[in-house]
Amino acid sequence: MVSKMFRTRSLAAGLAVLALGLAACSSGGDSGDGETAGSGDGGDGGAISVGFSQVGAESGWRAANTKSIQDALTEEAGFDLSFSDAQQKQENQIQAIRSYIAQGVDYIAFSPVVESGWDSVLEEAKQADIPVILTDRAVDSEDTSLYVTFIGSDFVEEGKRIGDWVSENLGTEPINVVELQGTTGSAPAIDRKTGFEDAIEGNDNISVIASETGNFTRAEGKTVMEGFLQAYPDIDVVYAHNDDMGLGAIEAIEAAGKVPGQDIKVVTIDGVKDGMTALAEGKISYIVECNPLLGPDLAEIIKTLEDGGTVEPRIVTKDEAFDQEGAKAVLADRQY
């Protein structure tokens, strides 16, 4: 990968600037879709211009992820960051990426709302000679040349670790499990479900009696759990694909007059501070971490590429797992 001083943009990108000028980000302000832009000229005095498209602000995890990226890709660190919030809509994310292509940024990074439907816009970035970095979530494209690398957790492994814990600690007797899935079609929802199912396969004591999306939000997690409680009187365990849905489930459990952690066990993934607090209090029984602090790693990847170096096509972040005592030990120093 050569530095930006020697990269040439395609004619298509230049024409796109003229055609999409009104849609591109204004300097230092917010656009109607939640986008905050930098200079938009592909670099200012040597700064590395980066366009980042975020999924949204659906959870405490996502808020921590956004802050980490914005704190790492600063002007002081040599970056000119343009940031957009897709508000959980793929079409907003595609529009933002095309805007970054029109601006002629040096790098594009994004966390895909869903896995599918990216080939066309990523091909446009490739033709414009703009490297793309996937963060947190993957795409299902067979053409891996459309992006440089994917950095994030192993979602299948996260689901497997939850399933292993449930099987070993709760599945020694017959139990009924309900599952709160993440956003339908998203990589973490697909993979965390797969990992959990793989882990409990062969344990005849565990029955998953219901599985429904809570869209990774606390409010929807609560609503879906309320429906589960009405439909299934004998729920033993809630498996939530993230802490926020698990916390919503806890609200529904308590409103139904039951005790989370006793009457109904709750296991989740993420490890945000609210979730860890609930774990320390005994309302959640087990959490597998999904580290959101990807900003420094993203900055390092971009600097490496800018200097002509190479990076691995898949970079897996290190995640921990916590029971109640483990949560109590780290809660005071938790960064997110």
How does pLDDT run across 51-88, given as a tens digit for each residue?
999 999 988 899 999 999 999 999 999 999 999 999 99
**Residues carrying CATH 3.40.50.2300, the chain:** 11-151+292-317, 155-290
For residue 183, the Cα-to-chain-centroid distance in whole angstroms is 11
Query: Tell me, what's the pLDDT at 39?
Result: 36
Structure tokens at 24: 């591109």
| Half-sphere exposure at residue 74, Cβ-oriented, CA atoms within 13 angstroms | 7
Rg of the Cα atoms in the chain:
21
Architecture of domain 11-151+292-317: 3-Layer(aba) Sandwich (3.40)
Query: Tell me, what's the pLDDT at 312?
Result: 97
pLDDT of residue 289 exceeding 90, the answer is yes
Query: Tell me, what's the pLDDT at 45?
Result: 54
Structure tokens at 301: 């990847």
pLDDT of residue 204 exceeding 90, the answer is yes
43 pLDDT band, cuts 50/70/90, is: very low
pLDDT of residue 32 exceeding 70, the answer is no
**Nearest CA-CA partner of 69 in 24, 107, 33:** 107
Q: Give 11-76 as a DSSP string.
A: HHHHHHHHHTTTTSPPBTSB-TTS-BB---SS-STT-EEEEEEE--S-SHHHHHHHHHHHHHS-TT
pLDDT of residue 25 exceeding 60, the answer is no
Q: Distance between CA atoms of 318 and 288, rounded to whole angstroms?
A: 11
Burial of 82 (0-12, 13-18, 19+ CB in 10 A): buried
| Half-sphere exposure at residue 1, Cβ-oriented, CA atoms within 13 angstroms | 24
Tell me the one-letter amino acid at 208. Answer: V
CB 139 within 8 A of CB 109: no
Torsion angle (degrees, nearest 10) of CA 313, 87, 94, 61: 0
Q: Distance between CA atoms of 277 and 271, rounded to whole angstroms?
A: 9
Burial of 242 (0-12, 13-18, 19+ CB in 10 A): buried
Cα-based angle 84, 137, 81 (whole degrees, multiple of 5):
30
Tell me the one-letter amino acid at 253. Answer: I
- Topology given in CATH for the domain delimited by 155-290: Rossmann fold (3.40.50)
**Nearest CA-CA partner of 136 in 164, 113, 170, 107:** 113
Helix (H, G, I), strand (E, B) or coil at 238: strand
Q: Distance between CA atoms of 26 and 270, rounded to whole angstroms?
A: 34
CB 108 within 8 A of CB 97: yes
pLDDT tens-digit readout, 214-244: 999 999 999 999 999 999 999 999 999 999 9
* Close Cβ partners of 11 (under 8 Å, ≥ 6 residues apart): none
Q: Distance between CA atoms of 272 and 223, rounded to whole angstroms?
A: 21
**Averaged pLDDT, 30-54:** 61
pLDDT of residue 13 exceeding 70, the answer is no
258 pLDDT band, cuts 50/70/90, is: very high
Rounded to 5 degrees, φ, ψ at 56 are 170, -150
pLDDT of residue 156 exceeding 60, the answer is yes
Q: Distance between CA atoms of 261 and 65, rounded to whole angstroms?
A: 28
